[in-house]
């Protein structure tokens, strides 16, 4: 019976993308173990380490689908690791050739290399989702390049921006993550084969040849040194997942805040019953955003566990490694879920430009008080201009009048700035700075990078 949200019949699709759940499923994990064992026998046969006939028999007979998981569970409970029990079953499947299974290997070689094969498959899924998010955000940035809205700092109106600018900020993080993912692969997709203490002593002078041939066979990189206790690459992998999930949580937080009734500037795509309340028929809750933020919290915690697992003792850890068995798969499951929800939200995001403009105008032009101050400062100096415009702003707030009205009644302003100039300065559309150029620059850089 399932005991966590990742395996729950009820919650599992909310917290784990189906592709990720399949990659890290128990059956697939066992299949990867078997794949490594069979590949090892194959290369050792070619290199004359074990008889070729034995290698051929192992390849023909060893079968992951015929592994008895209950029997493997019982053996694992006794040994503490699954590989002894697995090799025992594979040896029975392989007949006399079974005595050549696992030749020169240690449990961690098989488990680590299997995990790297899973990471390879999982990173391909992550990459595909990032590409899709990249496209969705680029579309939003381009489509709403000039859709003016209120920029907010400390949750308050700050200066005008465009929604395209906001989407481009989101996009810039995804662009960086795609670059990070490309850069991380050569460091992470490296298999493990070192034997009992990492020295491959049991294989004599053929140890490195077997190692290199095995990794070539599996499509992985080969490491100059064993990484049984050098866990930085797997920790880096989960750290990248935490960065990706963190960026998705930032996007989700923005969308969630913009979905507030009083703001109503963007909405998750409509789906009948999605985000409804058991008691309030009018509710449309930001469910995708909530799940993304929860997933990001899970991944962040698991990144911490991965760092804890780096404190391995001597040539083989006496416990820290076990933390990875929990942290790494669940980090991928949660990140996959966050990406799935982000794609659903962003590919169908509902944007309300008219509401953005109404919200922008809520303060009657106060959002561009800085624009007036900077223009006036050319005549009065910055400090004096700040005092004059601040006085007019307070008056506008107290009376509920537009800033323009207060400025037009202030001689210290009108002696320097004409009515036409004041109207220009108090229109938020005219105070976007380099926002549009920034959007264009990011989109151009993205296009150049392919």
If asked whether residues 351 and 377 sit together in one domain, one would say no
Instruction: Indicate whether 16 belongs to any domain.
Output: no
For residues 247 and 133, state if they share a domain: yes
**Structure token digits, residue 80:** 């503490």
Residues 385 and 326 in one domain: no
Question: What is the rounded end-to-end Cα distance, in angstroms, of the chain?
Answer: 46
* pLDDT tier for residue 342 given thresholds of 50, 70 and 90: very high
For the segment 172-188, the average pLDDT, to the nearest whole number, is 97
Residue 104 CB contacts under 8 Å (≥ 6 apart), including other chains: 44, 49, 195, 200, 202, 203, 207, 210
Whether 302 is catalytic is: no
Whether the per-residue pLDDT at 428 is higher than 70: the answer is yes
Same domain, 228 and 164: yes
Interval 97-151: pLDDT, tens: 999 999 999 999 999 999 999 999 999 999 999 999 999 999 999 999 999 999 9
Same domain, 112 and 254: yes
Bigger pLDDT: 280 vs 63: 63
Output the DSSP codes for 57-88. HHHHH--GGG--HHHHHHHHHHHSSSHHHHHH
- Rounded to an integer, what distance in angstroms lies between the CA atom of residue 372 and that of residue 113? 63
Residue 65: inside a domain: yes
Is residue 370 included in any domain, yes or no?
Answer: yes
- Please tell me which residue, 210 or 319, carries the higher pLDDT value: 210
State the CATH number of the domain containing residue 91: 1.10.275.10
pLDDT confidence bin for 14, thresholds 50/70/90 = confident
Tokens representing 26 are 């128990």
Q: Per the domain annotation, does 286 fall within a domain?
A: yes
**pLDDT at residue 4, as a whole number:** 87
Contact (Cβ atoms closer than 8 angstroms) between residue 422 and residue 413: yes
Catalytic residue among 154, 278, 314, 418: 154
Nearest to 114 by CA among 31, 179, 56, 209: 31
User: What's the domain count of the chain?
Assistant: 3
Let me know whether 255 and 348 are in one domain: yes
Catalytic residue, candidates 128, 202, 277, 434: 277
Domain final residue pick, 56, 79, 103: 103
* CA separation for the pair 140, 33 (Å, rounded): 44
Question: Is the pLDDT score of 272 beyond 70?
Answer: no
Statement to judge: residues 127 and 276 lie in one domain: yes
Residue of 273 and 302 predicted with greater confidence: 302
Q: Is 230 in the same domain as 345?
A: yes
Task: State the Cα torsion 398-399-400-403 to the nearest 10°.
Answer: -90
**Residue 162, helix vs strand vs coil:** strand
> Is the full-model pTM beyond 0.85?
yes
Q: Mean pLDDT throughout 396-400?
A: 91
pLDDT tens by residue, 55-78? 999 999 999 999 999 999 999 999
Q: Are residues 268 and 382 in the same domain?
A: no
**Given 80, 103, 126, which residue is the final one in a domain?**
103
Alpha-carbon distance values, 438 to 132, 170, 174, 250, 384 (Å) = 22, 13, 16, 20, 32
Which residue carries 């190692």 as its tokens? 211
Is 449 within 8 Å of 178 (Cβ atoms)?
Answer: no
- Decide if 277 is catalytic: yes
The answer to whether residue 15 is domain-embedded is no
Weakest mean pLDDT among 155-159, 259-263, 315-319: 315-319
User: How much is the CA Rg of the chain, to the nearest whole Å?
Assistant: 30
Scan for tokens 């390849």, then name that residue: 59
**407 contacts 426 by C-beta, under 8 angstroms:** yes
For the ranges 9-23, 50-64, 276-290, 396-410, the maximum mean pLDDT occurs at 50-64
DSSP 151: E
Using the 8-state DSSP alphabet, how is residue 190 labeled?
A: B
Pairing of strands 156-162, 148-153: antiparallel
Average pLDDT over residues 184-192: 97
**Neighbour count for residue 324 (Cβ, 10 Å):** 24
Q: Are residues 211 and 265 in the same domain?
A: yes
Q: What pLDDT score was predicted for residue 449?
A: 83
Query: Does a structural domain hold residue 10?
Result: no
Assess whether 247 and 291 both reside in one domain.
Answer: yes
Tell me which of 55, 83, 103 is where a domain ends: 103
Residue 387: domain span: 366-425
CA distance 294 to 256: 13
Residue 131 belongs to a domain with what CATH number? 1.20.200.10
* C-beta neighbour count of 58 within 10 angstroms: 27
Has residue 409 got a pLDDT over 60?
A: yes
Q: Which residues pair with 149 in a beta bridge?
A: 161
Is the pLDDT at 270 greater than 90, yes or no? no
With 0-12 CB in 10 A as exposed, 13-18 as middle and 19+ as buried, what is 318?
exposed
Whole-number Å distance between alpha carbons of 129 and 115? 21
Q: Which residues contact 257 (CB under 8 A, 6 or more apart)?
A: 155, 263
Burial class (CB in 10 A: 0-12, 13-18, 19+), 195: buried
* CA–CA gap between residue 42 and residue 217 (Å, rounded): 9
Question: Burial of 404 by CB count in 10 Å (0-12 exposed, 13-18 middle, 19+ buried)?
Answer: buried
Asked if residue 49 belongs to a domain, the reply is yes
Q: For 206-236, write each residue's pLDDT tens digit.
A: 999 999 999 999 999 999 999 999 999 999 9
Is the pLDDT reported for residue 276 higher than 60?
no
Whether residue 317 has pLDDT greater than 90: no
**What pLDDT is recorded for position 283?**
58
Query: Residue 285's pLDDT is what?
Result: 87
Domain assignment present for residue 387? The answer is yes
Clarify whether residues 259 and 183 are in a common domain. yes
Contacts (Cβ under 8 Å, ≥6 apart) of 258: 264, 265, 266
């Amino acid at each position: 019976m399932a005991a966590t949200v990742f395996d729950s019949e009820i919650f599992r699709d909310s917290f784990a993308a189906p592709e990720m759940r399949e990659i890290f499923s128990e059956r697939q994990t066992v299949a990867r173990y078997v794949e490594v064992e069979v590949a090892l026998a194959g290369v050792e046969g070619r290199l004359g380490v074990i008889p070729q006939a034995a290698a051929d028999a192992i390849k023909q007979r060893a079968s992951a689908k015929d592994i008895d998981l209950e029997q493997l569970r019982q053996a694992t409970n006794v040994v503490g690791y699954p590989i002894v029990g697995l090799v025992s079953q594979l040896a029975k499947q392989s007949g006399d050739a079974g005595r050549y299974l696992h030749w020169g290997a240690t449990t961690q070689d098989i488990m680590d290399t299997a995990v790297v094969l899973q990471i390879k498959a999982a990173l391909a899924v992550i990459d595909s989702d990032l590409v899709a998010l990249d496209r969705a955000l680029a579309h939003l940035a381009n489509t709403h390049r000039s859709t003016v809205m209120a920029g907010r700092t400390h949750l308050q109106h700050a200066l005008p921006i465009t929604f395209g600018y906001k989407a481009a900020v989101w996009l810039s993080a995804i662009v960086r993550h795609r670059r990070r993912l490309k850069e991380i692969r050569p460091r992470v997709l490296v298999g493990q084969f070192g034997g009992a203490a990492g020295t491959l002593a049991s294989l004599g002078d053929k140890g490195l040849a077997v190692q290199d041939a095995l990794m070539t066979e599996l499509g992985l990189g080969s490491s100059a040194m064993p990484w049984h206790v050098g866990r930085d690459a797997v920790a880096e992998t989960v750290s990248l997942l935490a960065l990706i999930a963190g960026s998705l949580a930032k996007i989700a937080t923005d969308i969630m805040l913009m979905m507030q009734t009083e703001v109503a500037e963007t909405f998750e795509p409509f789906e009948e019953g999605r985000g409804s309340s058991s008691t309030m028929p009018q509710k449309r809750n930001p469910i995708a955003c909530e799940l993304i933020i929860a997933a990001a919290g899970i991944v962040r915690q698991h990144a911490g566990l991965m760092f804890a697992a780096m404190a391995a003792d001597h040539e083989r850890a006496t416990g820290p490694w076990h933390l990875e068995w929990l942290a790494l798969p669940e980090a991928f499951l949660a990140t996959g879920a966050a990406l799935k929800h982000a794609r659903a939200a962003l590919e169908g995001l509902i944007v309300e430009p008219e509401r953005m403009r109404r919200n922008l105008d809520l303060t009657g032009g106060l959002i561009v008080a800085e624009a007036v101050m900077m223009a006036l400062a050319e005549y009065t100096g910055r400090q004096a201009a700040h005092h004059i415009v601040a006085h007019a702003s307070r008056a506008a707030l107290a009376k509920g009048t537009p800033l323009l009205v207060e400025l037009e009644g202030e001689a210290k302003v009108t002696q320097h700035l004409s009515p036409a100039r004041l109207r220009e300065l108090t229109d938020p559309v005219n105070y976007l700075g380099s926002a549009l150029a920034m959007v264009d620059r990011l989109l151009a850089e993205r296009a150049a990078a392919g």
